[in-house]
Chains A and B, each alone.
Chain A
């Protein structure tokens, strides 16, 4: 149980185009979804947290107009990288949990397999 999928697993795009990454919880309802970015040999960096039906909470330094997050259902969240540039090339990982994240308790996060984005 607790399987999270991501699509696509890898994508190559031209600079200036937009790319959408999907994150799905396959066998549970994901009230909260997290989006991370990981550069080579670096730690996972949390980009944003979204509770289903609410606007995402972005971490400091993450441009919300560039990284659009939609969490319209309990099984799907999407991350759209708008006007992608080579510096956006990275490994994007989503995770999902069943509980609401409100900064007062922890609910186990289940990670997706990641999406490798390369912007030419």
Chain B
């Protein structure tokens, strides 16, 4: 079966750095997405990785290792507004998105 695993909840301090991990097992791989979702809202796109390595975009970076079936999202200089759920999604061989359950990130002052 297809499986995406990520921690249920993480807590971090404002101004700090946090890394959210995602491991996956899917039928085929055509890229991995990270989305941010605030409570009661739709997901918003953060990043897309299809090749191994680190993609940096401002305070957010995303890393992919295809051989390990592993990705992480790195958030730097955390702000209170970063409190949200972070969803990992893998595009399978049919170009469908398989979603993880999301990691709820709580930022404390």
Q: Classify the interface of chain B: helix, strand, loop or mixed.
A: loop
Contacts of B8 in A (CB 8 A): 41
Do residues B101 and A114 form an inter-chain contact, with CB atoms below 8 A? no
- Note all chain A residues with C-beta closer than 8 A to B53: none
Q: How many residues of B contact A (CB 8 A)?
A: 22
CB pair B100–A109 under 8 Å, yes or no, is no
In the assembled complex, how far is the CB of residue A95 from the closest CB belonging to chain B, in whole angstroms?
8
Q: Could you say which of B30, B42, B95, B99 contacts A101, with CB atoms under 8 Å apart?
A: B95
How many residues on chain A are close to B (CB under 8 Å)?
A: 22
- Cβ distance B51 to chain A, nearest Cβ, rounded Å: 15
Give the docked Cα–Cα distance between A9 and B47 (Å): 26
Does any Cβ of A come within 8 Å of B105's Cβ?
Answer: no
Is A61 an interface residue when CB atoms closer than 8 A count as contact? no
CB distance B87 to A44 under 8 Å? yes
- In addition to A4-B42, A106-B95, 20 A-B residue pairs with Cβ atoms within 8 Å of each other are A41-B8, A41-B102, A41-B104, A43-B87, A43-B99, A43-B100, A43-B101, A44-B43, A44-B87, A91-B40, A93-B42, A95-B42, A103-B95, A103-B96, A104-B95, A106-B31, A111-B43, A112-B42, A113-B41, A114-B41
Cross-chain pairs A/B with CB under 8 angstroms, 10 sampled: A43-B102, A46-B96, A46-B97, A91-B40, A93-B42, A105-B95, A106-B91, A113-B42, A114-B40, A116-B40
| Interface, chain A (partner B; CB < 8 A) | 4, 41-46, 91, 93, 95, 101, 103-106, 108-109, 111-114, 116
